[in-house]
Chains A and B, each alone.
Chain A
Amino acid sequence: MALKTEPFILNVGPQHPSTHGVFRMRVTLDGEVVVDVEPVIGYLHRGIEKLAESRTYTQVIPLTDRLDYLASMTNNFGYVLAVEKLAGIKVPERAEHLRVIMAELMRISSHLMAVGFFLNDLGAMMTPVLYMWREREKIMDLFEMVCGQRLTYNYMRVGGVSHDIPEEFLPALGRFVGEMPRFIDEYEQLLSQNEILLARTKGVGILPRATAINIAASGPVLRASGVKWDIRKADPYSIYERFDFEVPVGMAGDCYDRYWVRIQEMRQSVRIIEQAVNQLPRGEICIKLPKPFRLPSGEVYGHIEAPKGELGFYLVSDNSIAPYRFHVRPPTLINLTALRDMVVGWKIADLIVIFGSIDVCLGEIDR
């Protein structure tokens, strides 16, 4: 005899340990199976785009820290690059190298968080996270050395960076770069062939290549679906075309591939940092800007490869000291478009895993 069942609506979040911030999902369930999901966002909306319209171009930099707060350096980087692109400013060589070093350290740090918490979502409560945090802590210490901050750095400036590195920075970075490949091996030894991880992630939450492109997914989510698209290679900014690195690409587009791409990207970031340190020239770290700094009239869309995907800044200037319009293209908000495609038909426990594999940051989703 067939049982009569009714769909059941469950609220996941906004206060839930696995939603990585104040994110809420209205999940429609049939028994344990997800039949629909609707993300409800905006709990962290601070109106950063509006705030920026009444701040000078330098005062906007700390606002960008508060977008993706797990990758603040990268947000600084994307913003100042967009301003420099419109103003036609050439940045000193030393500053370019320092920016690349910071951006790649930030990528490692962000991916460590992503992978660690992804394992948390799988039920490996806190142990993998603490392994990852051991290394992330060293990156935080390095950032603290250069700018005195551990989370919101406000380090990049239009035309360079705010501080030169102290003398203890390069030895500490050298130690980190030397030991990091060994630690990544350790993670892989613990995780990559782990039977539970394989069972829970292989073939789960597949995002087909065509869908990934159509929803404009970016970063590891896009590359795990087999699209070789990394803005550092496709549209090189700063000095990325000078470095030798590879773009890891997944095949299946499942949760495992998204995990795997992040692990491999950490290895490539270590390679980039090594090369940047070896080429690091002496000299100026920031150019002198006219005061007050006015951006020439016009508009610009600048984009960079942030750890979570394509981070874009769209600026409209009317030749005043503040932006006329400041828009952020947040990678994870757009990656979330694919959430429904990935989770429908999977169980509620898989929903948590699939959502974790996107690696969202509510700071940049809600702005």
Chain B
Amino acid sequence: MTVVLDYEAVARRLSEEFPGSVMESGKSGIVVKSERLRELAGFLRDSSEFEFDYLANLTAVDYLDYFEVVYHLVSLTNNHSLALKVRCTDRDKPVVPSVVDVWRAADFQEREVYDLMGIVFEGHPNLKRLFLWEGFIGHPLRKDYL
């Protein structure tokens, strides 16, 4: 059985390692500061206690007040999982750092989120629309699109 890690405990551990990086932790995941995302991602992948080598799912949700990008991480070695989140409040130009160089699984998924939700992943090597054609106006999965 894949163990869902105790988010409070992981949040404490991450705060120890990277002070001030965790914004909140609840029963649905850990929200971290987006400017600290890349160092946290590298740590979560490489440290022996977590070893999150597998980015199972990456998606985003539009809560109108803010966008939330969700990373579902799994460790194939330790068989445990974690939901990591970052938020961005700027609706006109939401920017989140890319994690493609940590998990290449993010490649198409970040392009999909960019295409449908309009979130720019800074550092993505090939950030283009994935499904819709170039020249399409708007990002359909946003709640204010229709």
Contacts and interface: CB of A to CB of B under 8 A. Distances in A.
Interface in A153-210: none
B70 A314 contact: yes
What is the predominant secondary structure among interface residues of chain A facing chain B? mixed
A347 interface: no
Nearest to B73: A216
B43 interface: no
Contact count band on A: 20 to 34
Interface stretch (A90-98, A109-117, A283-291, A330-338): A330-338
Interface stretch (B12-20, B32-40, B56-64): B56-64
Interface stretch (A5-13, A249-257, A262-270, A298-306): A298-306
Contacts of A78: none
B53 A214 contact: yes
Contacts, number: 79
Contact of B57 (A314, A336, A367): A314
B64 to A, nearest CB: 11
Most central of B76, B83, B140 by chain A CB within 10 Å = B76
Contact of A214 (B103, B130, B131): B103
Contacts of B48: none
Nearest to A44: B131
A45 B131 contact: yes
Given A41-B131, A42-B132, A214-B104, A49 B141 contact: yes
B130 A42 contact: yes
A1 interface: no
A41 B108 CA distance: 11
Nearest to B1: A235
Contacts of B140: 47, 50
7 contacts: A50-B141, A215-B105, A216-B56, A229-B76, A299-B28, A312-B57, A316-B61
Contacts of B107: 215, 337
A325 B54 contact: no
Contacts of B57: 301, 303, 312, 314, 327, 329
B2 A216 contact: no
Interface string B83-97: 100000000000000
Interface in B100-146: 103-105, 107-109, 112, 116, 129-133, 140-141, 146
Contacts of A50: 140-141, 146
The 4 lowest CB-CB distance pairs between A and B, nearest first, are A216-B105, A42-B131, A235-B2, A45-B131
Contacts of B83: 301
A47 B108 CA distance: 17
A42 B104 contact: no
Interface string A212-229: 011110000000000101
Interface in A332-348: 333-334, 336-337
